[in-house]
Structures are given as structure tokens and as C-alpha cells.
Amino acid sequence: MMEWILSLGFLAFGLIMGVISEKFIFKKIKAFALKKEIPGSYIIFHSLQRMPLIWFLLAGLSAAIISAPLRPDVSTLLQKIIKIAFLSSFTLVLANLISGFVKLYTHKTAKATTSLIANLAKAAVLGLGALVLLQTLGIAITPIVTTLGVGGLAVGLALQDTLANLFSGFYLIISKQVRTGDYVKLDAGQEGYVTDISWRNTTIRELSNNVIIVPNSNLASAIFTNYHLPAKEITLTIDVGVSYDSDLDAVEKVTVEVAKEVMREIASELLDNEPYIRFHTFGDFSIDFTLYMRVSEYFDQRIGKHLFIKKLHKRYQKAGISIPFPIRELYFPGNINNNGG
């Protein structure tokens, strides 16, 4: 009887320690680490969520089984089940940690994250954990590894498209031709921000918030424009025309001042690159020129054009500079018979 009471005591102790560690100790350490903004702390605590409770409970259960008056074969079986549960949970924690830190490292080095590398790292840890688990259970893993090696050729032939997309994804990431967060435009006309590069597809989010799914192999062989390479900053060009009686020096001064005002609102960090204009055409109704102005990224072209046109129109009105519109004079030959001639 005392042995069963002792076993229940071990089980209760493991449960109580698990609850205390989860609800109090773990929670306080997590809050402290997140407050101090320790790098990687979120990844660690997210991966360990609920695990202190589970591990203390497994430890208490293991001690309870050892102290309980059970048959040796039953005790051995239960101990093996506990070992499997512990190894499985530990492997899962390790896989989540490695996957999270891979994402953190790629984001710091390449300023981008992709699920492809993180998922492959996680899969590798889970695979190794499964082999260790089989070895612990007494199952020989050498024949399994050999079988996998022989069967790999058949699997590779059956999954040619999948493997092509997988290696194309690796090529896109390693070559840094496209990264998550980049704004790209495909030769077929689709454009948007790259949100992820997975083992099979690249996901592109349009400005309308729709999602375009492109197989990695298609993207690797496609002609596309990456508006974030070699840098995010781009030159916004706007064509303008003024009347022939305009003072072109005044036009240039006012236009550049307006462009600087717009840049101060949307791209103040780029003001060292002063905007400028270039006259280029004696048009039918106007003298035409093009404004060149730097903006922070491709998407800022819209707000840049919007603000520039509003402000320039207002300033031109104040300065007496007119933007002509086409006028056509139509001549109709008179009918000599109308006057009875």
C-alpha cells in the first residue's frame, strides 16, 4: 500500500512542479526576456510553450512507475512509452528552435525570410529525431537508411516537377535574384510583393491584396523586373507641358521647389538626390519637359504623383504659369449654292 502511495506522491509532485514552472517561473522569465528584447527570446519561449509542464509530468510519472509494484514487463513497457514521449517532445522543441533561428538569421543577413530553408531545417531535425527514436526502440536503422537511399532514385523520377521546383527555390534564394519583401513584375504582367518562397511555389501579393502563386521553376526561368534591386529607391518620372509664353527659368524653379516639397513628405532621407527637370520637346501646344524625382520604393510612385500634380497645379496657378490643353480649329468649306450663287 505504501508503495502505491509513494507512486501517487511522485506523480502529484511532478504535476505540481510542472504547473508551478509553467504558470509562474516560465511565465516570469518569458516576460523579463521579452521586456529586455533579448534576441531570439520569442523563438525560445514559443518553442518551449507547455513543455515544462509536460516534462515535469513525465518525470513524475517515470518515478511513479519505478516505485510502483508493477510487473517488470509492464514497468519496462511504460518506461519505454515515457521515453518515446520525452524524445518526441524534445525533437519537436529542437526542430522549432532551429527553424525559428534559421528564419531569424536569414532575416538579419539577407533582410528577408523564406519558409523553404526554415522548413527544410525543421524537416531534417525531425528526420534525425525519428531515427534516434527508432534506435531507442531497438529498431535497426541501417536497413531503413539503405532502403531510403535505393528508393530515392525511384522517388526522384516520380517527383521530377516537385524536385525541379525545390531546386529552383534554392536557386532563387541563393542567387538573391528575388527575396521576400521585393516588388517584382513578371513578363506576363502580374506584379506585387513577394511574401514567401516555399518548397514548391513563390507567393506574390498584388496591391489589390490578391495572391499570385508562381511555381518556382517558372519564376526561375521567367523574365521579370525586381524593383527592389539593386536598391529599393527608384526615380519617379513625370511628363509636364507648359505654354510657349512661359518663362522657362521660372518654370524650372517652381517645379523643382514643388518636387522638393513632395520629397520632404514621402522621402526626406533622399533629399541629397535633388530633383531636376529636363526640357526636351517643342510640342504642338506646349514646351514639354520631364521631372526626375527619387522616391523610397516602387509603391511610393502613386502617392508621389498624386501629391506632385496637386501641388504643382496650385503653384502654377499662383505663378501664372499655364498648362495648355489641345485646341483644334475646324474649317468647313462653304457651299456656294447656299447664297443662291
Separation of alpha carbons 59 and 29, rounded Å:
22
Stretch among 13-22, 187-196, 281-290 having the lowest mean pLDDT: 13-22
**Residue 324: count of CB within 10 angstroms of its CB:** 16
**Residue 20: count of CB within 10 angstroms of its CB:** 14
Instruction: Tell me which DSSP letter residue 154 carries.
Output: H
pLDDT for 252? 95
Residue 258 has pLDDT above 50, yes or no: yes
Instruction: Tell me which DSSP letter residue 207 carries.
Output: T
Residue 89 has pLDDT above 70, yes or no: yes
Pick the closest to residue 287 from 235, 250, 236 (CA basis).
250
193 DSSP β-pair partners = 183, 205
Q: To the nearest whole number, what is the mean pLDDT of the chain? A: 81
pLDDT for 256? 95
Stretch among 17-31, 108-122, 202-216, 255-269 having the lowest mean pLDDT: 108-122
Contact 314, 254 (CB under 8 A): no
Separation of alpha carbons 189 and 223, rounded Å:
11
SS3 label, residue 211: strand
pLDDT for 337? 52
φ, ψ of residue 52 to 5 degrees: the values are: -55, -40
pLDDT for 325? 78
The better pLDDT of the pair 62, 237 is held by 237
Span 299-321, pLDDT tens digits: 888 999 999 999 999 999 999 99
Q: Which DSSP helix (H) or strand (E) runs through 15?
A: helix 2-20
SS3 label, residue 209: coil
Residue 125 has pLDDT above 50, yes or no: yes
Residue 339 has pLDDT above 70, yes or no: no
**Residue 180: count of CB within 10 angstroms of its CB:** 20
pLDDT for 25? 81
- Select, from the ranges 28-32, 34-38, 47-51, 276-280, the one with the highest average predicted confidence (pLDDT): 276-280
CATH architecture, domain 234-319: 2-Layer Sandwich (3.30)
Separation of alpha carbons 299 and 278, rounded Å:
24
Residue 128 has pLDDT above 90, yes or no: no
Residue 336 has pLDDT above 50, yes or no: no
**Residue 164: count of CB within 10 angstroms of its CB:** 16
Stretch among 45-49, 92-96, 141-145, 168-172 having the lowest mean pLDDT: 141-145
pLDDT for 341? 46
Residue-by-residue DSSP string for 251-310:
HHHHHHHHHHHHHHHH-GGGTTS--EEEEEEE-SSSEEEEEEEEESSTTHHHHHHHHHHH
pLDDT for 114? 62
Contacts of 25 (CB under 8 A, 6+ apart): 52
Distance of CA 334 to the CA centre of its chain: 70
- Region 171-184: mean pLDDT is 84
- Select, from the ranges 12-16, 30-34, 285-289, the one with the highest average predicted confidence (pLDDT): 285-289
pLDDT for 1? 63
Contact 282, 228 (CB under 8 A): no
The pLDDT-based confidence of 330 (bands split at 50, 70, 90) is: low
Q: Is the pTM of this model over 0.85?
A: no
- Region 203-223: mean pLDDT is 89
**Regarding the domain delimited by 178-226, which CATH topology (the fold level of the hierarchy) does it fall under?**
SH3 type barrels. (2.30.30)
The better pLDDT of the pair 111, 280 is held by 280
The pLDDT-based confidence of 204 (bands split at 50, 70, 90) is: very high
Report the percentage of the chain scoring pLDDT > 90: 24
Domain boundaries, the chain: 2-157, 178-226, 234-319
212 DSSP β-pair partners = 204
Distance of CA 83 to the CA centre of its chain: 38
- Burial grade of 178 (CB within 10 A; 0-12, 13-18, 19 or more): buried
Residue 155 has pLDDT above 80, yes or no: no
List the grid coordinates of 209.
491584396
Residue-by-residue DSSP string for 21-53:
IIIIIHHHHHHHHHHTT-TTHHHHHHHTTTHHH
- Region 42-46: mean pLDDT is 79
